[in-house]
Amino acid sequence: MLHIVIVRDPLIFQSILKQTEAKKVPLSGIPYQVFSHGNIRIVGNYTIDIEEVLASVMQEFNPDTVFFLSESYPVSDEKLSGDIVLPNVFFSYNSAIEMMEDIDSLLWKSETVQKQSSSSVNREPEGIVRGKYDEGGNGDLSSKNEFFHSSQPIFLEHYPLQDDYDFESFGLSVGGVHVSGIWNESIEDFRIRLRLVYENDTFDSDIYAFVQKAGEMKIQGKVYPVAYTKTEDKISGAKNVWSIVQFIIGSIDPDLISEESEGEGEENTEEWIDGTSEE
């Protein structure tokens, strides 16, 4: 199997290259750099939109999986600096929530009230995510919630198990709600507004566009967006996120585990990736 890992942050990209000692792949006429590490291709330093990067790597390499590592803001109280989330529900941010004068107005408009300051660690996405849509993700927004959403949510089906406490030792949360847009530093309660409307875990600028493009290309089953929360120590953050990516790829690709663990890693193949396990 061939795996692509696209890294948005240039510093994280360079740090991953140093720790993996990946070798540059000599390609011409493409607006990004590619490095090889076994059967993984690490892509970064791109000068085009993420949608174009995805389309290009699919054409150039026809990989089995494409990971997108994107530095994100923690929104949920549960998410701290350095945490890593594999979201499975995605929204495009609508700046209309910034127009509400106060939180009370926002509560009324969104019809989403958080009864506790934080939810359980193994919660299913709920409220606006589960309450307003059918199981297939095709339900309609209510007229009030439609005010806040510029698009329907996108769902990924990679993770049948969402008990992220199983992976706490890895600093990993499996399943979650992610919103993409422009973070507004000028609004003091911006994070609270996001939580009330979307009940999301993380926020970045590009993941929604990445998943949306994958849907247009009919390759959603191949893409794995990874939201890693901001940390001051980029080197440590890069080591952490790379170890998680290797763990996930190893769960998908038994041959990769066999190569790195000399045949002893097959028993570690995890059920939560595709619903099956190696015996």
Give the pLDDT confidence of 215-247 residue by residue, as tens digits. 999 999 999 999 999 888 888 889 999 999 998
Q: Within 13 Å, how many C-alpha atoms sit on residue 244's CB side?
A: 27
Please report, as a single letter, which amino acid is at residue 242: W
Count of domains forming the chain: 1
Rounded distance between C-alpha atoms, residue 94 and residue 107, angstroms: 16
Q: Which CATH number fits the domain that encloses residue 233?
A: 3.40.50.1580
Indicate whether 146 belongs to any domain: no
Give me the pLDDT at residue 278, please.
Answer: 42
Tell me which residue range forms the domain holding 251.
3-91+154-181+203-268
Give me the pLDDT at residue 101, please.
Answer: 63
Read off φ and ψ for residue 141, nearest 5 degrees.
-70, 150
Indicate whether 211 belongs to any domain: yes
Q: How does residue 105 score in pLDDT terms, banded at 50, 70 and 90?
A: low
Both tokens of residue 14?
């360079």
Q: What pTM value is reported for the model?
A: 0.77
> Residue-wise over 115-148: b if at least 16 C-beta within 10 A, else e?
eeeebeeebebebbbeebbeeeeeeebeeebebb
Is residue 54 classed exposed, middle or buried when 0-12, 13-18 and 19+ CB atoms within 10 A define those classes?
Answer: buried
Rounded distance between C-alpha atoms, residue 10 and residue 235, angstroms: 12
Indicate whether 256 belongs to any domain: yes
